[in-house]
Chains A and B, each alone.
Chain A
Amino acid sequence: MATNSIKPKPSFAGQFLKDYRKAHRLSQEQLAYDLSIEPRTLRAYESGERQLTNINELRRIADLLGVEPERLGLAASIYVPRTPEQIEAVVEHAWSLIEESRVQEARTVIDRLIHNLQSQITTEDPVLLKSLAHAYHAAGYVTSVSTRSFESYKAIPYYHQVEVIARIIKDDTLLNIGLTYQGDMYQRLGEINKAITYLEAARDTTLQADAASRGNGIQLLGRAYLRTNDVTNFERAMDTSEELTHAFDPKASVTHGHYSLGTVYEEYGRSYANLGQMQKALDYLDRAAAELPQTKFWELLLTTAKAIALVKGNELREGLDLATEAAQECLATGNIRFLDRIYIIDHYVEELTRDILQMRKPLHEAMHRGQETEI
């Protein structure tokens, strides 16, 4: 029997969510998870079975997706200040996107949040200031993950804001983060002395900082020492950093999992890889793999480190295949920071090719002349 039921039309926002999901190739389950709603609720919004018109909910969704509220049908002229809880929810969402290697989306979300927070930076409320600092921390991190080394200066203003806020609210943990990551950005830019100044300041002037931020800072200080070939201080720093990984709860870490026993092992692995000590590098990378979460971000980190280890250890075919695969994954996910490692490999390959051709020349000449002289 035919029915006269009229198919409901989705609301403006419901249709937007459907279009957004398809454009980002997300399943209804994935987007529902991102928005902290039930998949059946999202299905109902998209089909028009339920109308999404609640202003607070629309604003929350706009923040989580990093889109202008108008795109969900909200009036553009109404600016509503964000509460610390609202800011923290978006910041947490951005970190979870990084964890899934959805770097471009994370950047969109956090850039939008920072844009929305510009008028709130003058607040004197320490709780709100702390949330603002968390937003700047995430913004700096997302920026650094989505840029090549020579573009790292783009992340510095965000970390500087973390430092400024930390000094206002006298928060050593945030101060450590602000100083540490400014130092790390200078390290990426090749300004090693400046990097070490910042990183040592983080270590020496933020004594009340929590173990996670201190350990993270010291690990990055170790990396900077190694770049100056200061192996003694590298090892000392890494020892301390490794010890500190046992002094906090990783799930509640201020570094959002970007410092742990796994990251310390990866640091060792990559350091040995860069020095051509393949077996040691691979051993440490195996240990890192056992410790780090099995997410795309960490898998890519380990893959790039392993590629360096293999190539520099002369396991060229395997290493270069891995590097090519990793390069494609970096591009697909927007993780440009790890692409730097592929450039390191590419540069190494070019140098090695040149060296081998030089080495080959006298051999070839000797063969050609048919001489039986020693080379």
Chain B
Amino acid sequence: MAQHELQQGLTHKLEGPFYEDGRWTASITLRGIESKTFYGKTQKEVQAQMLDYLDHIVLELERAHALLYKALEQQQTEIE
């Protein structure tokens, strides 16, 4: 078995926006995983994209949490 790279350090990172190569760029890393890079003509455009992206994830998470909570609540009821 080859060496395995088990690493901790799951952190979030928000970088940018920076102006480079004639455009604005920024990236969001969630839990240490490269997640998404954004590009735009203006800094504000990039920020708006980032906000949209985060809002989208929050919506997904809340939807999932509601579903999971429903299933897990059912288990609590069954135990009681």
Q: CB-defined interface of A316-358 with B at 8 Å, one 1/0 digit per residue?
A: 1100110110011011000010010011011001101101110
Name the residue on A nearest B14 (C-beta). Answer: A359
Q: How many residues belonging to A are interface residues under a CB distance threshold of 8 Å?
A: 52
Name the residue on B nearest A345 (C-beta). Answer: B68
**B23 at interface, CB cutoff 8 A:** no
B60:A324 contact, CB within 8 angstroms: no
A327:B72 contact, CB within 8 angstroms: yes
A352:B78 contact, CB within 8 angstroms: no
The docked-state distance in angstroms from the alpha carbon of A277 to that of B31 is 10
**A375 at interface, CB cutoff 8 A:** yes
Minimum Cβ distance to chain B for residue A87 (Å): 30
**A121 at interface, CB cutoff 8 A:** no
B61:A314 contact, CB within 8 angstroms: no
A238:B1 contact, CB within 8 angstroms: yes
Contacts of A277 in B (CB 8 A): 5-7
B68:A324 contact, CB within 8 angstroms: yes
The docked-state distance in angstroms from the alpha carbon of A359 to that of B74 is 33
Contacts of A234 in B (CB 8 A): 6
Given contacts A276-B31, A353-B58, A231 and B64 within 8 Å (CB-CB)? no
Contacts of A323 in B (CB 8 A): 64, 68
A360:B72 contact, CB within 8 angstroms: no
Contacts of B30 in A (CB 8 A): 314, 352, 355-356
B31:A352 contact, CB within 8 angstroms: yes
Contacts of A268 in B (CB 8 A): 4
**B35 at interface, CB cutoff 8 A:** yes
Contacts between the two chains (Cβ within 8 Å), count: 128
The docked-state distance in angstroms from the alpha carbon of A203 to that of B62 is 45
B3:A235 contact, CB within 8 angstroms: yes
Contacts of B8 in A (CB 8 A): 229, 275
**B44 at interface, CB cutoff 8 A:** yes
Given contacts A339-B72, A352-B31, A346 and B65 within 8 Å (CB-CB)? yes
Name the residue on B nearest A327 (C-beta). Answer: B71
> Main secondary structure on chain A at its contact with chain B?
helix
Name the residue on B nearest A352 (C-beta). Answer: B61
A242:B1 contact, CB within 8 angstroms: yes
Minimum Cβ distance to chain A for residue B37 (Å): 14
B74:A331 contact, CB within 8 angstroms: yes
**A367 at interface, CB cutoff 8 A:** yes
The docked-state distance in angstroms from the alpha carbon of A323 to that of B71 is 10
B17:A349 contact, CB within 8 angstroms: no
The docked-state distance in angstroms from the alpha carbon of A85 to that of B78 is 36
Name the residue on B nearest A231 (C-beta). Answer: B6
Minimum Cβ distance to chain A for residue B69 (Å): 7
The docked-state distance in angstroms from the alpha carbon of A274 to that of B10 is 10
Name the residue on B nearest A243 (C-beta). Answer: B1
The docked-state distance in angstroms from the alpha carbon of A316 to that of B69 is 16
Contacts of A31 in B (CB 8 A): none
A355:B12 contact, CB within 8 angstroms: yes
Q: CB-defined interface of A252-273 with B at 8 Å, one 1/0 digit per residue?
A: 0000000000000000100110
Q: CB-defined interface of B1-33 with A at 8 Å, one 1/0 digit per residue?
A: 101111110101010111000000000101111
Minimum Cβ distance to chain A for residue B26 (Å): 8
Contacts of A314 in B (CB 8 A): 30-31, 33, 35
Contacts of A336 in B (CB 8 A): 75
Those 9 A-B pairs whose CB atoms lie nearest each other, nearest first: A320-B64, A327-B71, A353-B61, A324-B67, A360-B54, A346-B68, A231-B6, A349-B65, A316-B60
Extra inter-chain contacts (4) besides given A324-B68, A327-B72, A356-B61, CB under 8 Å: A271-B6, A324-B64, A367-B44, A375-B47
Which residues of A are interface residues toward B (Cβ below 8 A)?
226, 229, 231, 234-235, 238-239, 242, 268, 271-272, 275-278, 280, 312-314, 316-317, 320-321, 323-324, 327-328, 330-331, 336, 339, 342-343, 345-346, 349-350, 352-353, 355-357, 359-360, 363-364, 366-367, 370, 372, 374-375
15 contacts between A and B (CB under 8 A): A268-B4, A271-B6, A317-B64, A323-B64, A327-B75, A345-B68, A350-B65, A353-B62, A356-B54, A356-B58, A359-B12, A363-B54, A364-B51, A367-B48, A370-B44
